[in-house]
Amino acid sequence: MEENNDDFQKRYLLSLCPNDQNTKIVRTILKSPLGLSVNIIKLLFNNNFKEIKENLDSIKKFVAGITRAEFLGKSYTLARFYPYLFSFHQYFHSSYRARQGKALEEMFKELIRHSNSNFFVPDTNKGKNNIMSEVFKGYVSRLDIDVVAKKSKGNILALQLRSRDDTGGTTAKASLVEALREVMKKDIEKRSNLFYLIGIWDKINSNQKNITISKIYDSLKPYFSINILKEQFVDTIENGVEVRKGIVLKLAHGNKKIVKNVAEWVGPETDLSYTDMSNIIKTLEDSDDLWLSYAIASLELENIRLRGFNNIDYLNKLLKAINYNLSSCSKNDDYLNLANTLALKIIPKWNNNFLPVSSMAEKATYIRDLILLRFIYDISCT
């Protein structure tokens, strides 16, 4: 008789779909966050939290109270736990910040590539420099532009993306046009056009937009080929300002406006719309990799350092007694069905009280989720 394991919560783990063509675009977009998820799982299953703690810089040791907590931890478990807690979450959030922006970049690159296969959208700085040099002779820059795309020779899109504009100081706001400021020092090639689009993803209700525009103007003013008054610049940048012949600068505030401007540059011969991006975002939202690995690692760190019990070691011991083979799995549902089946076999043997959830249903799901993370660990280590 077949075991009924349909009552478990579904999971959609992109790390368990390595060869699935249907998820190829999404995995490309989320490559960086998925890499962080795998790193956390390796950290958890190898119990390398101590290594993360020892990599903290000396400033954090006294500013964040690490040294004091380690001293008090000689006789107090909570203080002994704090350096591990702080270092793990510091590691996660500092890693995630950069990866969040990377996912936005990858999404727009994939959207442009799939809107027209003849467009060239490079991944490397060298490739971006090569394209920019078609507009600006001898262009070489280490300054990163998030997305560069070529529609035809000399017809270039340069897209700078930010998640929001109410963070970062004046230097960060001016950096949005740092690469543009560099190219405005050079002569533009004949019959060339550069569309330099600044995209602010989240539209925040604040005065930050005007501050951002003001800083952009101040940064570019010395390089304008014609006299552009600040008031005029502020009023027109969201419609596009020709800052030099062949160079149009535009600010798009909000994700819909970013997509609209990219779609207009791509042209009517293609079919790029906000719906395309919305569909991709919906698939991204369904992914369970990052939240699951981060939440479980956080809880298991508490178990290991506060309670002295390692559920990962316990899981590995129980799984060792069961004969199963991952080679028969090729997609997410295969791994999910196998994990559900293994969980049903393990649950009656799980005799410790260190699961960080309370109800029987949640305990069963938690054990199943641990098994899924074990699968990702096994795949990533092969």
183 in a structural domain: yes
pLDDT for residue 3: 46
Percent of the chain predicted with pLDDT > 90: 48
| pTM of the predicted model as reported, rounded to 2 decimal places | 0.84
Number of domains in the chain: 2
Q: Which of 18-32, 289-303, 309-323 is predicted with the least confidence, judged by mean pLDDT?
A: 18-32
Residue 246 sits in the same domain as residue 323: no
Choose the final residue of a domain: 269, 303, 328: 269
For residue range 119-159, what is the model confidence (pLDDT) as tens digits? 999 998 889 988 888 887 777 777 778 999 998 888 899 99
109 in a structural domain: no
Choose the final residue of a domain: 213, 239, 269: 269
Residue 156 sits in the same domain as residue 70: no
Residue 298 sits in the same domain as residue 264: no
Residue 26 sits in the same domain as residue 93: yes
pLDDT mean over 351-377 = 95
Q: Which residue has the higher pLDDT, 92 or 280?
A: 92
Residue 207 sits in the same domain as residue 328: no
pLDDT at 1 over 70: no
For residue range 28-45, what is the model confidence (pLDDT) as tens digits? 889 999 999 999 999 999
The CB-based long-range contact list for 150-154 (8 Å cut-off, 24+ gap) reads 150/119, 150/120, 150/121, 151/116, 151/119, 151/265, 151/266, 151/267, 154/189, 154/191, 154/192, 154/193
pLDDT for residue 204: 64
Residue 162 sits in the same domain as residue 301: no
Q: Which of 178-192, 211-225, 365-379 is predicted with the least confidence, judged by mean pLDDT?
A: 178-192
Residue 245 sits in the same domain as residue 325: no
**Residue 148, C-beta contacts closer than 8 angstroms, at least 6 positions apart:** 121, 122, 127, 128, 131, 132, 156, 157, 158, 159
pLDDT for residue 75: 95
Residue 232 sits in the same domain as residue 154: yes
- Domain around 190: 117-269
85 in a structural domain: yes
For residue range 55-90, what is the model confidence (pLDDT) as tens digits? 988 898 899 999 999 999 999 999 999 999 999 999
Residue 251 sits in the same domain as residue 155: yes
3 in a structural domain: no
Residue 173 sits in the same domain as residue 316: no
pLDDT mean over 314-338 = 93
Please choose, from the candidates 233, 239, 292, 229, the residue with its C-alpha nearest in 3D space to the C-alpha of residue 261: 239
Q: Which two tokens mark 306?
A: 């506060």
Q: Which residue has the higher pLDDT, 168 or 268?
A: 268
Mean pLDDT, all residues of the chain: 87
281 in a structural domain: no
Residue 172 sits in the same domain as residue 254: yes
332 in a structural domain: yes
pLDDT at 118 over 90: no
CATH of the domain at 165: 3.40.1560
Residue 316 sits in the same domain as residue 183: no
pLDDT for residue 206: 57
